[in-house]
Amino acid sequence: MEFGAWPHVRGDLASARQGASAFLDRLSAEEDRAETDRQNWVATWTKTGDAYCRLADLKINKRAFDEATEAWLCALTAFEVARRLVADNDPRSANVSAKVETGFQRIGSALGHKVESVQIACCDRDELLAYYLPASTPNSPAPAVICISSEEETGAMLLGRLLPVVIGRRMSVLVISYEDLENHSRGQSKVLLSSCFDYLSGRPDVDSTRIAVYGDGLSAVLATDFARYDRRIAAAVCDGGIWNWTRSLRSIGWITSTADGADKDLTPAYRSRLARQLNCPILVVACGRGIVGVSEAINLQADCTAARIDLELAMPQIMRGFPDGNVENFVTSDDCIFRWLEQKLAQDPAP
């Protein structure tokens, strides 16, 4: 298979992301050459990202700042492809991750898309580090999304991945790291996330009635708990309560033993009851980097449809067969998630 890098880097973000998505969709590895293929792909996509960085620097020197921004966003996309492919034990792993983490800093310092590092004060005198990217509509309050990284990513890595998706969507994002929440109890995590909501609602550039939460990976559980706890949330990308529901089933032996008819009748009602507690539109990401299985998500959606609960599914394309895990098409998945958020956070038309 070809390495999938573009023959000429032009700084066209739409083409760059289409190329990355097409590469990931075609991705496969023969077992006897998987490691060789992977090493070649990592090298090629890293070099492609570096080429976009050089193009961005040239555009900055020519004061073509919009074109430089687009080239940097192309670079972040290329580096993210490389990061998805590099093996954990590969010495290049830290280098590729660092390129993703620091990419947004170059965009902010050189091109005016200022990413703010903010310390959010909490009621227990604790502080939470977050990254804030304001919307591109400074003259009117815009919707905002609290984004929580997966357990495998830092907040900076998540922001680097999302920048090509969110810039230009006229919404603000506040990005926090899963590791900053995991050391707290789930009750404390909900309070910390409410402090994030308070911070956003206090900003003049944010519409406090249109603030959503998005939890990636295990953070989908935190997003569910938070949306259930704080009724101000306008939309949630989360697990829809599946993690808690499955854990409850296991704790009473419903999975390892045969449930009787009454239990089977109660299961749909219990699933939909957990989702109903969120009181906002829900998007559940099934499979992929999420923690929700496809069959569980489909059952949940059917139960919620019957109960007239606004719940939708996203099922990203997964490339299987790699020794240390599957590779997800993050390009289409992230685009899908933020299109959904954009739709749910849109202002209601005037009567």
Cα(315)–Cα(88) distance, rounded to whole angstroms? 25
- Rounded to 5 degrees, φ, ψ at 320 are -100, 170
Cα(248)–Cα(254) distance, rounded to whole angstroms? 9
pLDDT in tens, 268-291: 666 677 778 888 999 999 875 566
pLDDT in tens, 189-233: 898 999 999 999 999 999 999 999 999 999 999 999 999 999 999
Distances in Å between the alpha carbon of 11 and those of 72, 112, 212?
A: 8, 18, 31
| Domains present along the chain, CATH in parentheses | 13-111 (1.20.58), 116-344 (3.40.50.1820)
pTM above 0.85, yes or no: yes
278: left (phi over 0), alpha (psi -120 to 50) or beta: alpha
| pLDDT for position 254 | 45
| pLDDT for position 26 | 83
| pLDDT for position 351 | 42
CB 185 within 8 Å of CB 213: no
CB 115 within 8 Å of CB 105: yes
| pLDDT for position 325 | 58
Mean pLDDT for 331-348 is: 92
Sign of the alpha-carbon torsion through 320, 324, 325, 327: negative
Tell how strand 318-319 and strand 116-121 pair up.
Answer: unpaired
| pLDDT for position 211 | 98
Cα 181-153-89 angle, rounded to 5 deg: 130
129: helix, strand or coil = strand
Q: Following DSSP, what letter does each residue of 212-235 receive, concatenated? A: EEEE-TTHHHHHHHHHHH-TT--E
pLDDT band at 1; cut points 50, 70, 90: very low
Contacts of 260 (CB under 8 A, 6+ apart): none
Contacts of 48 (CB under 8 A, 6+ apart): 5, 6, 9, 78
Sign of the alpha-carbon torsion through 180, 216, 77, 338: negative
pLDDT at 3 over 60: no
Cα(206)–Cα(204) distance, rounded to whole angstroms? 6
Q: Which of 14-28, 195-209, 301-315 has the highest mean pLDDT?
A: 195-209
pLDDT band at 303; cut points 50, 70, 90: confident
| pLDDT for position 319 | 64
The token pair that represents 137 in the structure block: 């509509």
- Which of 1, 348, 350, 345 is closest to 173 using CA atoms? 345
pLDDT in tens, 66-109: 888 899 999 999 999 999 888 777 878 888 888 887 777 777 65
Mean pLDDT for 50-67 is: 89
349: helix, strand or coil = coil
Cα(253)–Cα(318) distance, rounded to whole angstroms? 31
Cα 291-296-299 angle, rounded to 5 deg: 145
- CA 188 vs. chain centroid, Å, equals 22
